[in-house]
Amino acid sequence: MNAFSQRFRRIEPWVGFAEVQKQLQRQGVFLVSVDEKGRPNAMTIGWALLGTAWYQPLLLVLVRPSRYTHTCILHSREFTVNVPFGKMEKELGFCGEKSGREVDKFQELRLRWEKGREVSVPILTDCDLIYECRLVSRVDLVPDHILQEEVRARYYPRGDLHSLFFGEIKAVWRARQ
Ligand SMILES: Cc1cc2nc3c(=O)[nH]c(=O)nc-3n(C[C@H](O)[C@H](O)[C@H](O)COP(=O)(O)O)c2cc1C
Domains along the chain?
A: 3-175 (2.30.110.10)
Q: 43 CA to middle of ligand 1, Å? A: 6
Q: What separation in Å is there between the alpha carbon of 78 and the centre of ligand 1?
A: 18
Closest residue by Cα to atom 11, ligand 1, is 63
Tell me how far apart the alpha carbons of residues 121 and 41 are, in angstroms, rounded to a whole number. Answer: 10
Distant-in-sequence contacts of 112-119, Cβ < 8 A, 24+ apart: 113/32, 113/40, 114/4, 116/78, 116/80, 116/171, 117/4, 117/171, 117/173, 118/170, 118/171, 119/78, 119/79, 119/80, 119/170
> What is the Å distance from ligand 1's center to 55 Cα?
29
CA-nearest residue, atom 6 of ligand 1? 45
pLDDT 10s per residue in the chain (177 long)? 788 999 999 999 999 999 999 999 999 999 999 999 999 999 999 999 999 999 999 999 999 999 999 999 999 999 999 999 999 999 999 999 999 999 999 999 999 999 999 999 999 999 999 999 999 999 999 999 999 999 999 999 999 999 999 999 999 999 998
What 103-110 contacts at long range (C-beta under 8 Å, 24+ apart), as own/partner pairs, is 104/39, 105/41, 105/42, 106/39, 106/40, 106/41, 106/42
What are 54-77's pLDDT values in tens digits? 999 999 999 999 999 999 999 999
Tell me the CA–centroid distance for residue 68 and ligand 1, in Å.
10
> What's the whole-model pTM score?
0.98
Give yes or no for residue 33 CB within 6 A of ligand 1: no
